[in-house]
Amino acid sequence: MTVSQLTDHIKRLINSDSKLKQVYVRGEISNFKRYSSGHCYFSLKDEGSVIPGVMFYGYASKLKFEPENGMKVLVRGYVDIYKARGNYQLYAQKITEDGLGELHIAFEQLKKELESKGYFDDSLKKPIPKFPKKVGVVTAATGAAIKDIVITIKRRWPLCEIILFPSLVQGSLAANNIVKQIFVADNEFVLDTLIVGRGGGSIEDLWAFNERIVAKAILACETPIISAVGHEIDWTIADYVADKRAATPTAAAELAVPDIREISSKVADLDSRANNVMKKQLFDNLEKFERIKNRRLFKNPYVIYERKAMDLDFIRERLVSSSKEMIHSNEMTLSRIKNSNVFKNPESILDKKTINLGRYIDKLVVLDPLLTIQRGYAVARTGGKVVSYAKDLKKDDEVEIEFTDGKVNARVL
């Protein structure tokens, strides 16, 4: 028997065992790797044994989460021989985390990834307008969600226009349909707020709102978005990315618009307060007017004119008196100047200045250093500065000596 014959015999034995055609195997994943072809290769182990496994692209593409080393999983598939190596291995058709559904795993993985990328940051959240004129709704055209939203908005804020962007909200085509309608609403309409959501259901029913493309569309939308998916206990990726999360579609409508009854009550209260303030101000002013009216001023308004006339007379009198005093003072000053020597003998001022100039010249001549040199003295300089004492010089210093007929350079020995 050849190796191939032996392998074929073992393969026939395994294939003839109906129990191995559909098995569920529980174990821990190790050495997991996804190739560019889309095929996944791994090992499944427990405390006592290891079995190699493979999941081909057709099945691997349907995985809702990415298996990781160390993950406890439940694998559905069949056992067969890989003839080229003579190995038996597990051919996986479905992998779920042991104890948790695959959708739950996929949800947690995508949530963790998007959170690390900043999709959920509060700094990206846009405020919801308080008094909207137009509200868009991306949801199914029929169903409880749109009915609840319309009824709630019309009851609370009948001034608001509601525009429906009908979309699939369940099934394999729902995610792309939701993305398309968000894009249309944001780019082709001027909306104050956009509600995106649907009524309750299982995690499979709500899964379109857990898709990556929906999260990206919500993040890129310029119009503030309120997510309204499912019931109070239901949380989706869309809830985390949206600018505001509502527990239900009805709650989303309540967040999107104010209650006209509350606004009317506040307006009435402000109107009442404003009237009370104006009435009080009017009453206070009337009291002031009555007090002023009872004064002498209103009984005899000529009093104002008479007082101003008296003030004017007093000011005029002071002005005339001050002018006379100023003229008299200037006349006296002019008289003193006319009687002084300046006008009688103006040359005397020049003579006095000439005498003073001569005195200054005599002082300068006495202080002239050139006259000192002419008497036989000399001036020594080093570095451009006059040397006054021998101690200021040292050996080999260059010295310039100025005489009456010229200068010489010398060196200190």
Two tokens, residue 278:
């104006």
CB atoms within 10 A of CB 412: 12
C-alpha angle 144-148-153 in degrees, rounded to nearest 5: 155
Two tokens, residue 213:
């493309």
194 forms bridges with which residues in the sheet?
136, 225
CA distance 133 to 157: 9
Using the 8-state DSSP alphabet, how is residue 128 labeled?
A: P
Phi-psi region of 334 (alpha: psi -120 to 50; beta: other; left: phi over 0): alpha
CA distance 226 to 241: 10
CA distance 228 to 231: 8
CA distance 209 to 237: 6
CA distance 393 to 385: 12
Q: Does residue 332 surpass a pLDDT of 80?
A: yes
Displacement of CA 94 from its chain's centroid (Å):
46
CA distance 297 to 82: 120
Residue 341 pLDDT: 62
Q: What are phi and psi of 295, to 5 degrees?
A: -75, 165
Q: What are the structural domains, with CATH classification, of the chain? A: 3-107 (2.40.50.140), 131-258 (3.40.50.2300), 369-411 (no CATH)
User: pLDDT digit string (tens) for 51-94?
Assistant: 999 999 999 998 888 888 888 889 999 999 998 888 899 999 99
86 in Cβ contact with 3 (< 8 Å)? yes
Confidence band, pLDDT 50/70/90 cuts, at residue 100: low
Burial 350-384 (b: 16+ CB within 10 A, else e): eeeeeeeeeeeeeeeeeeeeeeeeeeeeeebeeee
The CA-atom distances, in angstroms, between 198 and each of 48, 145, 252, 283 are 48, 6, 11, 59
403 in Cβ contact with 378 (< 8 Å)? yes
Residue 180 pLDDT: 97
Burial 29-44 (b: 16+ CB within 10 A, else e): beebebeeeeebebbb
User: pLDDT digit string (tens) for 304-329?
Assistant: 777 788 888 889 999 999 988 999 89
Residue 404 pLDDT: 79
Phi-psi region of 384 (alpha: psi -120 to 50; beta: other; left: phi over 0): left
Residue 391 pLDDT: 86
Q: What are phi and psi of 315, to 5 degrees?
A: -65, -40
Q: Does residue 302 surpass a pLDDT of 80?
A: no
Residue 343 pLDDT: 63
User: pLDDT digit string (tens) for 118-141?
Assistant: 999 999 999 999 999 999 999 999
